[in-house]
Amino acid sequence: MNIYEAIVIGSGPSGVIGAQKLIDNNINTLLIDAGFDVKESSPLTSNEKQESHNLVDGFHKNLLVQENFKTKFNKNNLIQNKLNSLGYSKYIDFDLSNIDYNPTLLKGGLSNVWGGSILPLRNEDFTDWPIQLSDMKKYYKYAMSYIGAENYDDDLNKIFSLENYDQSHKIDRSIMVDYILGKYKIYKKKLNLNGIFIGNSRIAVEKQSCPYCINCNLNDKFPLIFNSSNNLRKLQKNNLFKYKKNNIVEKIIENEKFITIFCKDLDNNEFKYRCKRLYIGAGFLSTSKIMLDSYKAKNIQINQIEAKDSQYFILPAILLRNLKKNQNKINFSQLFIEIFNKDISNNYAHLQIYTYNNLVDDYIKHKYFLFYKILYPFIKNFIRNRIIFIQGYLHNKDSSKASIKFENINGSQKYKIEIKKNDKTDGVIRKIISLLAYNFYSVGFFPLSFLMRIGKFGAGHHSGATFPMKKIFKKNSSNLWGVPYGFTKVHIIDSSVLPSINSSTITLTVMANAARIADNHNNFK
């Protein structure tokens, strides 16, 4: 049996950028993956293309999935295939009934369905970490270059230390955004004193479109949102890299010389790989299962672990002006609002603004079909031009937690997820809404609090910290290189090792940390 220099598990953003860093350092690398493909039953016309990236990272997931609503795009089962995880539960023994998180076995992982929003963390956000922003800066820059991130010269540059990152291509913005930014420019001083800072969204957009990718935005002139499966294709052209799919990793066993990875294929056939050093980027639930099952094989008693989450909520709002020329075609987040207000919380809140778009229009048509024709003049002349959607995230300290443990559920052994509600959460969200309402004239919109919706644990897919990095690590943690307790040659590189789940976007930090760990491969003993 071959003993590979390095093996990476998972083709999501952390796995692929980790593999890329290994290749950059001339390390022969094998990436193993479930690698499910989304199959298209028939070609889509340009008019049938629907934005699918922000279905998980945004309110579109709720519009399209929870009520079995199907758009033209979904007629080919593409959205459904992505969000039902293609039978994830068949292969991974998790009871997901208490959470709203969609793990996936797709090639590219959750980059198939994310919204592309990215921000680095601030130096203050590393308080609970064994590393600092200075350790991450060059890897943030590497990750932003890798995914083709856009940047702007606005207040967010100073807050999140973005001044040194390249100003890449820009995405067109809605006139709704221009209106809000215009209000912010006038009332900036007042808003800042109230802890409100507004800037353009940072979106991970590809510099060149990929002819193989079907996940284009509704507006065809937009570049594609970063999808790690595209970068996987590029890696496969490198002689130092190999890719093998149809692998469901069950457990790992480490000895002094190598690590053995035990797998099953999709037909339950058993086989294994060996390597000198292993990097796990399977997504926090799959990674957690791999590690817990590996601890069982190692006779280390870890029966329960804790997961952290960034509480997610959706808040519709109404603009103070009727912008009759709004194009209604942009499905990306277009503005970030950062709330730094100690009267609300010691932790800041991150808000993303989405404008009214065709998916919302289709949803209204579906839900209120009998009245749609009657309502249409009102929708056309009022709702389309004034409604925006705020998608909010809180720090894990203001959010619920989850415990993961193995137990008997209805006669079968599964990993049970139980939620521990945080009493602070509702109050923090209410205070955020009150702050926006108090400053409604200055921000240019009024929050519709009666339509606010708080998501379950995992709804925003900003979750992890099951094996957090610590300076002094014990059970249920890892060291600053993502090496979990009880192992020496295994590194976790996905959100499982983040010490905290901050309010800010998660993917860029996960990718930067994965690159940091993999970049030090030659220094590990």
d(CA 263, CA 166): 41
- List beta partners, residue 338: 197, 350
Phi first, then psi: give them for residue 446, nearest 5 degrees.
-120, 125
Helix 133-147 vs helix 507-519: crossing angle, to nearest 10: 110
Interacting residues of 95 by C-beta distance below 8 A, sequence separation 6+: 409, 414, 415, 416, 417
CA 234 distance to own-chain centroid: 22
Of 241, 264, 265, whose CA–CA distance to 30 is shortest? 241
Q: How far is CA 174 from CA 147, 292, 334, 472, in A?
A: 23, 47, 8, 48
Rounded to the nearest 10°, the torsion over CA 168, 172, 176, 181 is 30
What pLDDT is recorded for position 420?
A: 95
Distance CA 513, CA 478 (A): 13
Separation CA 180–CA 176 (nearest Å): 6
Domains of the chain (ranges plus CATH)?
Answer: 3-523 (3.50.50.60)
Beta 270-280 vs 412-420: how paired, if at all? unpaired
Q: 351: helix, coil or strand?
A: strand
Task: Check: CB of residue 507 under 8 Å from CB of residue 13.
Answer: yes
Q: What is the pLDDT of residue 387?
A: 84
The string of DSSP codes covering 383-417 is IHHHEEEEEEE--GGGS-EEEEEEEEETTEEEEEE
Residue 97: CA count within 13 A, CB half-sphere: 5
pTM of the model: 0.89
Antiparallel, parallel or unpaired: β 312-319 and 94-95? unpaired
Write down the pLDDT at residue 23.
97
In order along its 525 residues, the chain shows pLDDT tens digits of 789 999 999 999 999 999 999 999 999 999 999 888 755 333 333 333 333 333 334 444 444 333 333 333 343 444 444 444 444 555 667 777 888 887 778 888 888 778 889 999 999 999 999 999 999 999 999 998 898 777 788 899 889 988 666 655 566 678 888 999 999 999 999 999 999 999 999 888 765 544 333 334 333 444 467 889 889 999 999 999 999 999 999 999 999 999 999 999 877 899 999 999 999 999 999 999 999 999 999 988 888 899 999 999 999 899 998 877 655 556 778 899 999 999 999 999 999 998 876 666 666 666 555 666 666 666 666 677 788 889 999 999 999 999 998 776 565 667 889 999 999 999 999 999 999 999 999 999 999 999 898 999 998 889 999 999 999 888 889 999 999 999 999 999 999 999 999 999 999 999 999 999 999 999 997
pLDDT at 101 (0 to 100): 80
- On whether the CB atoms of residues 401 and 306 are closer than 8 A, the answer is yes
**How many Å from the N-terminal Cα to the C-terminal Cα in the chain?**
23
Could you write out the three-class secondary structure of 166-227?
Answer: CCCCCCCCCHHHHHHHHHHHHHHHHHHHCCEEEEECCEEECCCCCCCCCCCCCCCCCCCECC
